């Protein structure tokens, strides 16, 4: 009984830790996508200006 509780608690901890890591990666990905979009727009404008 105690062993089952310990295993269950450990599994729950691992799941929570996994969810936390996924949330962190998701936030970082959103940040990176935002930076990419901004840089892409800036460079596209610079290319248009250079062609003009």
* Nearest by Cα to 9 from 24, 1, 21: 1
pLDDT, position 22: 99
pLDDT tens profile 9-34? 999 999 999 999 999 999 999 999 99
- CA–CA distance from 44 to each of 26, 48, 52 (Å)? 27, 6, 13
pLDDT for 52 equals 84
Structure-token match 């990905």, residue found: 29
Give yes or no for residue 43 having a pLDDT over 90.
yes
Please report the pLDDT score of residue 11 as a whole number. Answer: 97
**Percentage of the chain surpassing pLDDT 70?**
100
Residue ranges covered by each domain of the chain: 23-52
Cα-Cα end-to-end distance for the chain: 76
């Amino acid at each position: 009984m105690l062993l089952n509780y310990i295993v269950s608690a450990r599994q729950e901890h691992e799941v929570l830790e996994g969810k936390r890591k996924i949330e962190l990666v998701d936030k970082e990905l959103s940040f990176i996508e935002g930076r990419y979009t901004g840089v892409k727009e800036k460079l596209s404008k610079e290319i248009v200006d250079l062609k003009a």
